[in-house]
Amino acid sequence: MKNGKLIIFAAPSGSGKTSIVKYLLEKKKSLKFSISATTRPKRDNENEGIDYFFLSIEQFQKKIAAGDFLEWEEVYEGVYYGTLRSEVDKLLKKGKHVLLDVDVLGALNIKKVYTEKALALFIKPPSIETLIERLINRGTESKESLERRINKATYELSFEPKFDITIINEHLKDAQKEAEQVVCNFIK
């Protein structure tokens, strides 16, 4: 059996990355989602083991020490995200193509490990103003968390040139179609 490939999506918060990833998972049954681990609180619409593996900071740090993560980052102070190596390798060995939704630095770290077996896609908003508007419209951010996300987004946008492909998400349906075409070309 042939091993699968990795398709890594990264973007500043509010760029539409998750909407694009969900679209691809619905359209392409050959893609399997790698569920990340996080220490952030679970949102009302999220489920353990489906959206994320929700861990305490202590549990997360034990997994770091054990080398269980393919990549991990402290994205915000006290808020960790990571990709469990066992989850990715299990899917790849089954010949599945693995879709990852990770932060910018995590994406670049995974790309270094899997090189030509991985495609790193950067989803970009048409402007920082559009990004801010999207984050506000979500209604999930406090003033402080909104400010943190905007500062983080500005930093993350500087990494765009290090990705294999950039998709500008001005209109979600167009960005979804473009992502689908890019992914299909990579996994065939």
141: amino acid identity, one letter:
E
Does 178 have pLDDT greater than 90? yes
Statement: residue 120 has pLDDT above 70: yes
C-alpha dihedral sign at 137, 142, 148, 151: positive
In terms of C-beta density within 10 A (0-12 exposed, 13-18 middle, 19 or more buried), how is residue 134 classed?
middle
Closest CA to 23 of 129, 155, 173, 170: 173
User: Which tens digits make up the pLDDT trace of 10-50?
Assistant: 998 878 898 999 999 999 988 999 988 999 999 999 999 88
Delimit the domains of the chain by residue range: 6-187
Measure CA of the first residue to CA of the last residue in the chain; give whole Å.
15
The architecture (CATH level 2) of 6-187 comes to 3-Layer(aba) Sandwich (3.40)
Q: What is the pLDDT of residue 1?
A: 58
Query: Is the pLDDT assigned to residue 58 strictly greater than 90?
Result: yes
Q: Give per-residue pLDDT as tens, 77-106.
A: 899 989 999 889 989 999 999 999 888 988
| Cβ neighbours around 71 below 10 Å, total | 24
- Overall pTM > 0.85: no
Please report the pLDDT score of residue 122 as a whole number: 97
User: Is pLDDT of 164 > 90?
Assistant: yes
Nearest one of 53, 116, 120, 111 to 82, comparing CA atoms: 53
Residues 102-129 have a mean pLDDT of: 92
What is the Cα 13 distance to its own chain's centre?
10
Q: What is the mean pLDDT of the chain?
A: 91
Q: Are 70 and 113 in contact (CB under 8 A)?
A: yes
Question: In whole angstroms, what is the distance from residue 30 CA to residue 119 CA?
Answer: 16
Single-letter code of the amino acid located at 14: G
Given this model, what pLDDT does residue 22 score? 94
CA distance 125 to 104: 14
φ, ψ dihedrals at 139, nearest 5°: 75, 15
